[in-house]
Amino acid sequence: MRYWLFKSEPDKWSWDQQVAKGDAGEEWDGIRNYQARNNMREMAVGDRGFFYHSNAGKDIVGIVEVCAPSHPDSTTDDERWDCVDVKAVRPFVTPVNLAQIKASAELEDISLVRQSRLSVAPITADEWKIICKMGDTKP
Of the candidates 12, 74, 73, the one whose C-alpha atom is nearest the C-alpha of residue 40 is 73
| Residue pLDDT, tens place only, 102-130 | 999 999 999 999 998 899 999 999 999 99
- 139 occurs within a structural domain: no
Residue 120 covered by a domain? yes
Domain range for 77: 3-134
- With contact defined as beta carbons under 8 Å apart, do 124 and 64 qualify? no
In a domain, 8, yes or no: yes
pLDDT, residue 56, reads 86
pLDDT digits (tens, 9 = 90+) for 49-71: 999 999 888 999 999 999 999 99
For residues 5 and 121, give the distance between their C-alpha atoms in angstroms, rounded to a whole number. Answer: 5
CA distance 3 to 44: 10
Looking at the structure of the chain, the number of domains it has is 1
9 Cα distance to chain centroid = 12
Residue 27 lies in a domain: yes
Task: Record the pTM.
Answer: 0.96
CATH value at residue 62: 3.10.590.10
Report yes or no on 16 lying in a domain: yes
Determine the Cα–Cα distance for residues 96 and 50; give it in Å rounded to an integer: 10
Q: What is the structure's pLDDT at 117?
A: 87
Strand-pairing partners, residue 60, are 52, 96
User: In sequence order, what are the residues at sequence separation of 6 or more whose Cβ sits closer than 8 angstroms to the Cβ of residue 128?
Assistant: 3, 48, 50, 139
Q: Quick one: residue 110, left, alpha or beta (phi over 0 = left, psi -120 to 50 = alpha)? A: beta
